[in-house]
Structure 1
Amino acid sequence: MKASRGEHLFYSVNYVILSVLALSCVLPIVHLFAVSLSNNDAVTSGHVAFWPVGFTMDSYHLLIDRTPVIRAFKNSLVITVVGTLLNMLFTIMAAYPLARSYFYLRRFFSLAIVFTMLFNAGLIPGFLLVKSLGLIDSYAALWLPGLVSAWNLLVLRSFFEQIPEELVDAARIDGCGEWRLLYRVFLPLSLPVLAALSLFYGVGHWNAFFGLLIFINDAAKQNLSLLVQNMVQNQEMLQEINGQLSMSESADMLSQITPQSIRAAGIMVMVIPMLIVYPFLQKYFVKGMLIGSIKG
């Protein structure tokens, strides 16, 4: 069917608006990347836009050699991988019974889960609970309170409910019990929504900041988010980095880099892993969220 003139105009306006929005998201990252690879004179004079000027990797060398960025990266990796696995495991284990019509008190538990989306105890009771459980300075304080997202649980439950009962009946005739039915039938058919929910959980753990600020007092357990935040807001940290350099190193290296380029390098180290992972899950993202949230 041929599109009318009004439809062509509508599509053109949409393309323009979406292109502007996409550029507003991408260009700041490109600018930070260019700043992290530019020399001192170009950055301080404001000549760096979207391409490095006076290319140098000294900011990354200084970041890796003189800051605990490697340790913070490993901490972020542990928090993200373990946390996402725990989230997905318990979300699946909760969504499956709630999707089965013969599960007793199914409606009661579903309403109770929805209730938690509207009301919560608050920050202070949450902190007191974590403290009473002895989880302060433990990553469990980050994983356990948010072990299952109510929204993600409802999305996965909705997806499980859409799996044809005929397929379930055929599997039962072949001798599948509940565990085997979940593992052999439900999970293979749920890869799109599982990938989308894993992305949600993973990004949340990778960017975790407030929880670590409250529950983690040990500096050796801080993640990239806290380290980058300290670099952005704490000038003393950059002065400590400068103080660790010898006189010859300081004169040579600091002539090539600025605090802005070190901060930009720290932000890029935090952002790049998510930019690498996202394209592999993108094909599942929209499909998984749509078929997990629309009935029928």
Structure 2
Amino acid sequence: MSLAASEILLAFKAGRAFRREGTNIVEPNPAKGAIYLTNGDDGLLHFIWRNRTTGNIEEDLILFPFDASFVRVSQSPGRVYVLKFSSSNQRHFFWLQDASSARDAEFTENVNGLLQNPEFDVRWGVPISSTAPQASTSAAGSAQASTSTTSRQGAGSNFEATPEQLATLSQMLTSMSSQPQASSDVSLTDILTPTNLAPLFNHPELISTLFPHLPPDLPIPPSAEALERIIHSPQFRASVANFDQALRTGLLGGLVRTLGLPEEAGTGVGPFLRAIQEQADRERENTMDTD
């Protein structure tokens, strides 16, 4: 299955680990990788492991609600987890490769939320339950990982931005008092606020461009009032927060290419904003050259 053809729900850096033959010892493999949970084009939930060096998908598991869990291997040193199934003795081991372990609990909570319910809303920055499952490497073999930026909203869509749409987004960014820096403190939730977005809806040509990508139950013809309601809604703020978090995983290179941006734009919030600005600057220069 192609990641580009699926809706990425969650993504984070993780390598694979393997049980040493004849023992309960689980050893991490040094290959750099990433775990993706996606809604596939077949309508099913997929648990994917992709090699970040080769770009190849080396594991693609179809999961059904409540059949699997993702839990830490408490007896194993390091950040080793296992994907285990209630319907079989399958065990797939992974080790988390994010530079910091600060978000491990969030990744695990979100993975298990999706494994129980594919419609689970991925959550960030909320208290983690104290009942997170643990696992052991007992003789019975039981053992025991957040997109994206990706985010549920649009992360696997086939949407392709036009130069006009990129220019519009650039106008939104440059309307701020200063240009965003590449600092890790930059957040889309601080940029895509109702206060910053509302002035853009004074342009009728922008409203008609955005409307095909908005929820289908909005009134027709589109109106600035309808868009105002959207940007003030909790769902919109949650979508922005999810996309911000997905960008921070650095795993959205494939997604941003569908927006006409270089793969580097998917490695963080700062690179994403800079790439949009540079693309819009080029479009403006081309327009001026043809005038």
State the TM-score, normalized to the length of structure 2: 0.24
Which structure carries more helix by proportion? 1
The answer to which structure, 1 or 2, has the higher relative contact order (CA under 8 A, 6+ apart) is: 1
Which structure carries more strand by proportion? 2
Q: Higher Cα Rg: structure 1 or 2?
A: 1
